[in-house]
Structure 1
Amino acid sequence: MKITGYRTLRTHRNWGRPVGDVNGFIASGITEVSVLILETDVGLEGVGIGSDHGVAELFPAIEGRDPRAVVSLYDSLLARSFKAGHIGATFGGIAILDSALWDLKAKAADQPLWRLLGAEDRFVPGYASGLDIALDDEALVAFYQEMAQRGFTAGKLKGGRDAETDIRRLLLMRDALGERTRRPALMLDANESWHLKQAVRYVTEVEQAVDLTWIEEPLRRWDVEGHKRLSAQVRASVATGENLTGLEQFRALLAQGAADILQTGAVWGITHFLRVAGAALAHDVPVSPVGLTANPAVAHAAAATPNHLSAEVQDLGAPFGVTVDQEYDGGGIVLGDHIGAGITIDEALIRTEDSHGNWREAAGPHVRPARAGFALTFPSPLATDSEARN
């Protein structure tokens, strides 16, 4: 079997609510989704979902080769991007190809991907995450009540602007998730919006009212010393790493004990997740993949990872024209029996739809605001530009 080509599609996800974080939000709740279909000479095709950045430049590294040699091909993709460096958006293209390769490998073996990767249990523990900075209290409660009905007993709030507001909303989230446990796990995600002393003061205030399980991305992603110092001064675990890409970027966090929970961005793919998880396992550090809506195949890798803690579940639906063989129940993801990663694409349907969105619109969370992390006081998350200046 040889790789002969690929094709890409753009579809969208309708979240049904505004989604974002302290840096901004997408008011429409509609975001773009990239789909890649890897073609072979025997007619078997592999599907990847994520980012298709740089795919045209990367594809020659695997063209004409056997897709079942996934790990070798992943290293060839890294080598192809040598001058670009093991960093940044290039990893999106590597990851979507990698995910499609793993899908192909499992299909060739006539197995679900979770079983091919060595998992015995198809269940992946998860936590609810509403990307909820722009939700009012009523909508916030409704989201977490729905997730509680699916058995979720842990949730993550997007915050970081006002401790009193975050405390109130964390307590609302706690009550909404309290259907199955008296003490839900509560997490707070600041999305790199603080400097160290801000983080210490903020988390300390929150912890006076809330038993915080972890504080996520409190500081800039590269601040190893800051994360280590913060972890020593607060009760909550420090979770970070989701925006790091090359494996070598995680080395200092692990070597210096700066991350209590190591995160990987699901968009960076399966081989990347497995390697980061293996490095963390050697340091007795649990791992947690974020945003499995961006790359559902990573859930299969999580099922086979001994130090996997909990995976972020942001949405119960799927992108337009995409079907994923999995369910949300029991507080996590229940993977199906379809061979491969269980992803089915209706290309004809996708081509009939012209809805689109862009994570990188100026008001969205993927564009860092001016002077982020340098405010002495914080405006309301829903404040207008003029209100924020006054």
Structure 2
Amino acid sequence: MKITGYRTLTTVQEWGRPVGDANGTFTDGITSVSIIQVETDEGITGTGFGSHVQVEAIFAAIEGEDPRSVTALYDRMLRRTFKAGHGGAVFSTIGAFDTALWDIKAKAVGEPLWRLLGGRDRVVPAYASGLDIGLNDDELVAVYQNYADHGLLAAKLKGGLDVERDRQRLTLVQDVLRQAGGGQRPGLMLDANESWNRKQAVRHISELERTLDLVWVEEPVRRWDVDGLATVGRGIRASVATGENLTGLEQFRPLLVAGAVDIVQASASCGVTHFLRVAATAHAHDLPVSPIGNVSVALTHAATSIPNHLVTELQDLQPPVGVTVDRRIEHGALVLGDSAGIGVQVDENVISTRGHQPNTQQTDGPHVRPPRAGLRLLATSDGHQS
């Protein structure tokens, strides 16, 4: 079998509500989803989700190769970007190709990826993650009630701009989940999306912990700030989580060595091979791992095969437009199906006939860091004032 070509597609996630974090909000609730499909001479096509940046240059590293040599081809792609580096969106492109190759490998033997990777249990624990900072109280309650109706009793909220507002929102969601769980204490997490400096993080979380029990705080300071993350970890009771925006084991290693992270995360867009390597590295430090991302189906498969999976992020309950996934949500968990590969089908007709596309020219939103992030003196509702 040989790799003969690739195709790129872009669809959208229709959230039906504003989505965002401390850095900004997409008010129309429409976000883009990039897809790469890898073709072979035996008619098997693999699907991956991630960036299209430098797609032609990276494909050159695997063209004509046997797609079943996945991990070797992953390293070939990394080497192809050696001089300029594989950070940022380039790493996501490599991840999309990598996921597509794993999809092909599993399809070639007629097995779901979770089975090929050695998983025993197709049921993967999940938590709700609503990208919810732009919602009012009623909207927030409705969104998390919907998650609770699917059995999800743990939730991660976006916050970091106003400690009193964060307390109020966390308490509302806590009440929803506690009632749904028959009085059971729910799991609550807060994601600050790198919006604080280290002392702000300690003050903010310590204040919340006077009345709330937080499982973890995510990206309280910059993703690469080893000393800062360690300082926050020593100053609060909650665990510190980070990793979704790190690109390569070389960025994880200093955090692990310094004891600066408690929950090791990996982004779905970075691919299966990266996730497996991160999980093995974290396991060597007796740390749990948690996959992050909206279209995280491939990492859900991979999570079944590792010894230190904690819980997987579940964002929108519905897949992107034109995408179907052989997976169901049941009793607060993701239950994988028996379809060969990662269980994803892409309908290009649905994607092409859908009327609207995301606004890729937006100059603000969650993807743009505010100029005063980490420098705010007073609480702010929009992230752009101090």
Distance 1:373 1:359, change over 3 A: farther
Indicate the RMSD between aligned Cα atoms, in angstroms: 1.3
Query: Are the counterparts in 1 of residues 127 and 311 from structure 2 also a CA contact under 8 Å?
Result: yes
Aligned: 1:35 with 2:35: yes
Partner residue in 1 for 2:236: 234
8 A contact 1:261–1:285 mirrored in 2: yes
In structure 2, the residue matched to 1:200 is 202
Q: Distance in 1 between matches of 2:12 and 2:60?
A: 28
Contact 1:55 1:93 in 2 (8 A): yes
Question: Comparing 146-155 with 48-57, which one deviates more in the overlay?
Answer: 48-57
Q: Deviations over 1:163-190 (max 9, x none)?
A: 1111111010101111115200100111
Aligned residue pair count = 384
Check whether the contact 2:20–2:26 (CA below 8 A) recurs between aligned residues: yes
Name the residue aligned to 1:72: 72
Alignment match, 2:190? 188
Partners of 2:163 and 2:379 within 8 A in 1: no
Contact in 1 for aligned 2:249/2:278 (Cα 8 Å): yes
Q: Distance in 2 between matches of 1:11 and 1:257?
A: 39
* Structure 1 unaligned blocks of 5 or more: none
Q: Which amino acid aligns with 1:307?
A: N
In the superposition, the TM-score normalised over structure 1's length comes to 0.96
Any residues of structure 2 matched to 1:196-275 within 5 Å, and which?
196-275=198-277
Q: In terms of mean alpha carbon deviation, does 72-81 or 297-306 score higher? A: 297-306
Amino acid at match of 2:306: T
Partner of 1:56 in structure 2?
56
Q: Deviations over 1:258-291 (max 9, x none)?
A: 1011111111111111101110000001011111
Corresponding position of 2:345 = 344
Aligned counterpart, 1:294: 295
For structure 2, which runs of at least 5 residues remain unmatched after alignment?
none
Does the 8 Å CA contact 1:48/1:295 hold for their aligned counterparts?
A: no
Distance 2:358 2:334 in 1: 26
3-state SS in 2 of match to 1:71:
helix
Q: After TM superposition, where is structure 1 displaced by more than 4 Å over at least 4 residues in a row? A: none
Give 1:130 shift: 0.5
* 1:153 aligned residue: 153
3-state secondary structure, aligned to 1:56: helix
Structure 2 counterpart of 1:137: 137
Q: Deviations over 1:74-109 (max 9, x none)?
A: 000001111121321110110110010000000001
Sequence identity (%): 57
What is the CA distance between 1:296 and its match in structure 2?
2.1
SS at match of 2:60: helix
Contact 1:360-1:366 at 8 Å conserved across structures: no
The question of whether the paired residues in 2 share the 8 Å contact of 1:6 and 1:39 is answered with yes
> Which residue is 2:171 aligned to?
171
Is 1:152–1:332's contact at 8 Å kept on the other side of the alignment? yes
Q: The residue matched to 2:83 in structure 1 has which SS?
A: helix
Query: In 2, Cα distance between the equivalents of 1:226 and 1:246?
Result: 20
Say which SS state the counterpart of residue 76 (structure 1) adopts: helix
Distance in 2, matches of 1:358 and 1:249, equals: 31
Which amino acid in structure 1 is aligned with residue 159 of structure 2? G
Question: How many angstroms apart in 2 are the aligned matches of 1:89 and 1:360?
Answer: 17
Q: Note if contact 1:23-1:368 (Cα within 8 Å) is conserved in structure 2.
A: yes
Q: Which amino acid aligns with 2:26?
A: I
AA matched with 2:301:
H
Give the distance between the partners of 2:358 and 2:204, measured in 1 at CA.
34
Amino acid at match of 2:378: T
Number of the residue aligned with 1:276: 278
Distance 2:27 2:127 in 1: 24
Offset of residue 351 of structure 1: 1.9
Q: Which amino acid aligns with 2:202?
A: V
Asked whether the 8 Å contact 2:51–2:90 carries over to 1, the reply is: no
State how far apart, in whole Å, the 1-side matches of 2:381 and 2:13 are. 27
Alignment correspondent of 2:111: 111
Deviation at 1:50, TM superposition (A): 2.1
CA distance in 2, matches of 1:316, 1:20: 16
Number of the residue aligned with 1:314: 315
CA distance in 2, matches of 1:149, 1:122: 21
Task: Tell me which amino acid in the other structure corresponds to 2:99.
Answer: S
Which structure 2 residues correspond to residues 7-26 of structure 1 after superposition, within 5 A?
7-26=7-26
8 A Cα contact 2:223 2:245, kept in partner:
yes
CA distance in 1 between counterparts of 2:108 and 2:307 reads 25
1:327 corresponding residue in structure 2: 328
Identify which range, 142-151 or 94-103, moves more after superposition: 142-151
Displacement of 1:378 after TM fit?
2.2
Report the TM-score, using the length of structure 2 for normalisation: 0.97
Question: Shift of residue 359 of structure 1?
Answer: 6.7
Deviates further, 297-306 or 89-98? 297-306
| SS of equivalent to 2:206 | helix
* 1:360/1:367 contact within 8 Å kept: no
CA distance in 1, matches of 2:93, 2:292: 18
C-alpha spacing 1:107/1:359, structure 2 compared with 1 (3 Å): same
CA distance in 1 between counterparts of 2:257 and 2:267 reads: 20
Verify the 8 A CA contact 1:359 1:365 in the aligned structure 2: no
Instruction: Write out per-residue CA displacement over residues 202-259 of structure 1, whole angstroms, 9 at most, x where no aligned residue.
Output: 1110000101111110000111111112111111001111110111100011111110
